[in-house]
Amino acid sequence: MAKILRVNMAQRNIIEEEVPEQLALLGGRGLTSTMILDEVPPGCHALGPNNKLIFAPGVVTGSAAASSGRISVGSKSPLTGGIKESNAGTPVATMLGRLRIKAIVVEGDPAPEGWWLLRVTSDSAELLPADDLDGAITSKVNEVLLERYGNRVGIVTVGPAGEQRMAMAGICFSDAEGRASRYAGRGGLGAVMGAKRLKAIVVDPQGAPGVEIKDQPLFRKGGRKLLDALQTHAVTKPGGTLNTYGTDALVNVMSEAGGLPTRNFARGNFEGANKIGGETLAETIAKRGGKGLSGHACHQGCVIKCSNIFPMEDGSEHVSVVEYESAWALGANCEIDDLDDVAEMIRLCNEYGVDTIEAGVAIGVAMEAGVVPFGDGKGAIKLLNEMGEGTPLGHIIGNGAAFTGRAFGVVRVPTVKGQAMPAYEPRAVKGMGITYATSPMGADHTAGYTVAQEILGIGGSEDALAVEGKADLSRSSQAASAFIDTFDYCLFIAFAILDIDTGLEGMVESINGVLGTEYTTADIDRIGMEVLRTERRFNELAGFTSADDRLPEFMTYEPLPPHNVVAGVSEAELDSVFA
């Protein structure tokens, strides 16, 4: 039987619950968002006693379904004040799926002193003192816990930023080799974990019964169809572009398209793009050799393998993973074009436990204010270290781009609902702007990735600079993302199944095989929309209105080079998305 673990940090006890019927068919984002709406008072303080932090693997996670080792984390966000789901690819997800743990709910008001560790095995769950990990960076936590519990366990942790409750703190999950590198980064969930005084979770998969599968033949049939699609599509197949160059191949694409936010969103192309893009990244990894690796899998069971391990000049390991969002945020957005400086900044974000997107955008805003000059890699590294040390300046930046903007009186602050925009300029990619503005998550590219159609020609082809039809494209993309995040396939399977119909069918058949349901592809939009409505309901009760579904004002009057266009999406169009 699947179960829910309720971890009460006030009483320091753990209760095992059966899964109520209305949650039985949900997992991942659908489950966390439903439980947050049901159990968390929308008006509560995100760092206070009434907020909860919920970890939930997807419905198919832990099964043999390809690229499905993802875990969703849900809560009220200390960054946006609204509902939050952020997910990561990690063996921790598959372990929880195989242990049939549908959710871990962390709740209650902890004593103000001391740190705790939650240890979960196939037949027990306990809270143990973790004061020895006080202040530890994430790699240290993993080193200590792998040593203590054996290297087969999965680890979840927060770094010093989460302990200090900074609003850009993320939650760090171990990767396939136990590295502290996979993040549910967005929205400050690490600060919630820190506020609960939970430093880490250790998951031991030994003796796990495995995911219950209602209809094995159907599950296998669907799995094969999805696998075929993934192994055929030019983007997702072995030796395909994701596998060879990683997501970082997008740096050159977006710069050439004039939609790569550069110099704190002052322009849409970056002269140094090629120096930090996927081609140079793959070349550098190959040339330096040693521990470097392209085509790394974040968890066993991924067939796409878009991750990497970036080496130092001498071939020793520097950091995993240099991906598009991180290389853009800490690179182009700060006009930094030195790949080694960018790698070092990613490493520091991983160690202190912060979201690379929010960090890069907050530093960009600080650069705009003249705290350090644009292009100054060493200066940016120093700012990250201030965060790790918890200096007053570190706290300002650590609380995110919007907070940094207010602290320094900056007008050009690229956030929606207080969350930093990712690596697509909304003025140059109109549908993406609509997603940023209207997603219940705040500015988030994964919430509705219209870039696929608008720039990449996947799942259709649209003019990126045209507004017409984009409200609908954004809405359907948001629904599809909410669906995929509920079953917790990696979102990157979308590139194959948008183009290959049998892959899409295969995904739905795999899900039916696990659940015993009779969903069709037509249910994707319906189920996704239900999740979105749940999330929007929470935000509404928390005080959000249509005035929060807006892009920052400067984008409405500041033309973006090289296209020299403003946002150009009317309020009526934005309000039509979920009307």
Partner 1 sequence: MTDAGESITIEVALFATLRKYHPAGSDKGPVWMDVPEGTTVGGLLDILGIPAQQAKMAFISSRQGEDDRVIRDGERVAIFPPIAGG
Q: Which of 71, 298, 357, 452 binds ligand SF4 (CB under 6 A)?
A: 298
Q: Any idea what the Cα angle at residue 316 is, between residues 313 and 322, rounded to 5°?
A: 75
Q: Which span (41-49, 270-278, 301-309, 551-559) binds ligand SF4, by CB under 6 A? A: 301-309
Closer to partner 1 by CB, 198 or 346: give it.
346
Site for partner 1, residues 466 to 495, rule: CB under 8 A: 491-492, 495
Q: Cα dihedral angle (331, 332, 338, 344), rounded to 10 degrees?
A: 0
Amino acid identity, position 564: N
Q: Where are the alpha helices (DSSP H) in 75-137?
A: 91-98
The partner in contact with residue 302, picked from ligand SF4, partner 1, none with C-beta cut-offs of 5 to 8 angstroms by kind, is ligand SF4
Indicate the burial class of 159 (C-beta count within 10 angstroms; 0-12, 13-18, 19 or more): buried
To partner 1, the closest distance from the beta carbon of 320 in angstroms equals 16
To partner 1, the closest distance from the beta carbon of 510 in angstroms equals 22
CB 403 within 8 A of CB 419: no
**CA-to-CA distance for 405 and 78, rounded, in angstroms?**
17
Q: Is 361 in the site for partner 1 (CB under 8 A)?
A: no
Q: Which span (195-203, 398-406, 444-452, 471-479) binds partner 1, by CB under 8 A? A: 444-452
Tell me whether strands 317-319 and 101-107 are parallel, antiparallel or unpaired: unpaired
Q: Strand 293-296: give its sheet, edge to edge.
A: 293-296, 307-311, 317-319
CB 103 within 8 A of CB 15: no
Read off the DSSP letter of residue 169: B
CB 396 within 8 A of CB 206: no
Q: Any idea what the Cα angle at residue 468 is, between residues 465 and 470, rounded to 5°?
A: 80
Q: Is 324 in the site for partner 1 (CB under 8 A)?
A: yes
Q: Is 268 in the site for partner 1 (CB under 8 A)?
A: yes
Q: Is 18 helix (H, G, I), strand (E, B) or coil?
A: strand
Q: Which of 198, 211, 250, 383 binds partner 1 (CB under 8 A)?
A: 250
Q: Is 356 in the site for partner 1 (CB under 8 A)?
A: no
To ligand SF4, the closest distance from the beta carbon of 243 in angstroms equals 9
CB 334 within 8 A of CB 328: no
Q: Is 492 in the site for ligand SF4 (CB under 6 A)?
A: yes
Q: Which of 96, 490, 515, 567 binds ligand SF4 (CB under 6 A)?
A: 490
Q: Is 65 in the site for ligand SF4 (CB under 6 A)?
A: no
- Give buried/exposed letters for 342-357 (b at 16+ CB in 10 A, else e): bbbbbbbbbbbbbbbb
To partner 1, the closest distance from the beta carbon of 399 in angstroms equals 25
Q: Which of 127, 266, 369, 456 binds partner 1 (CB under 8 A)?
A: 456
The partner in contact with residue 279, picked from partner 1, ligand SF4, none with C-beta cut-offs of 5 to 8 angstroms by kind, is partner 1
Closer to ligand SF4 by CB, 104 or 304: give it.
304
Q: Tell me the CB-side half-sphere exposure of residue 293, using CA atoms within 13 A.
A: 15
Amino acid identity, position 22: Q
**CA-to-CA distance for 552 and 239, rounded, in angstroms?**
40
Indicate the burial class of 108 (C-beta count within 10 angstroms; 0-12, 13-18, 19 or more): middle
Tokens 């290389």 sit at which residue?
A: 327
Q: Which of 63, 67, 181, 350 binds ligand SF4 (CB under 6 A)?
A: 67
**CA-to-CA distance for 437 and 406, rounded, in angstroms?**
20
Q: Is 281 in the site for ligand SF4 (CB under 6 A)?
A: no
Q: Which span (27-35, 353-361, 392-400, 443-451) binds partner 1, by CB under 8 A? A: 443-451
Q: Which of 54, 83, 230, 235 binds partner 1 (CB under 8 A)?
A: 235
Give Cβ neighbours of residue 410 (< 8 Å, ≥ 6 apart): 365, 368, 369, 404
Q: Which of 168, 306, 383, 514 binds ligand SF4 (CB under 6 A)?
A: 306
Mark residues 224-243: x for contact with ligand SF4 by CB under 6 A, - for none: --------------------
Closer to ligand SF4 by CB, 205 or 433: give it.
205
Q: Which of 72, 241, 450, 474 binds partner 1 (CB under 8 A)?
A: 241
Q: Which residues bind partner 1 (CB under 8 A)?
A: 233-235, 240-242, 244-250, 252-253, 256-258, 268-269, 274, 277-279, 306, 323-325, 445-446, 449, 452, 455-458, 463-464, 491-492, 495, 562-563
Q: Which residues bind ligand SF4 (CB under 6 A)?
A: 67, 89, 297-298, 302, 304-307, 490, 492
